[in-house]
Amino acid sequence: MGECTSDDKSLCYVPAPSTRHELGILFGFLGLMIVCMSVYAVAWNVGNRRSLQKEADRVAALRASGHLDEIEKSRLGTGEGA
């Protein structure tokens, strides 16, 4: 790789002057996309954990008040109406 030794200079390869810039944009975008996907995944998991905790608290409150036991008994057929 060096200077073109051909007599006809139109046969020599000359890379586009913006190749580095274009590759920088390409890999910069890919890097940013990976970072954004990671942040979104973490936020999604945090949201799921909060939702599961709220649901567990809601079920515990229903069991504590006795409402959930009545529903489970009626589904199993062991309630007073069976």
In tens, the pLDDT along 2-34 reads: 677 777 777 787 778 898 999 999 999 999 999
Beta carbons of 79 and 73 less than 8 angstroms apart: yes
Identify residue 13 by its one-letter amino acid code.
Answer: Y
d(CA 23, CA 31): 12
Distance (Å, rounded) from C-alpha 34 to C-alpha 28?
10
- Entry pTM: 0.60
65 pLDDT more than 90: no
Alpha-carbon separation of residue 81 from 62, 66, 68, 70, 77 (angstroms): 21, 17, 16, 11, 8
pLDDT in tens, 39-62: 999 999 999 999 999 999 998 998
Q: What per-residue confidence (pLDDT) applies to 2?
A: 64
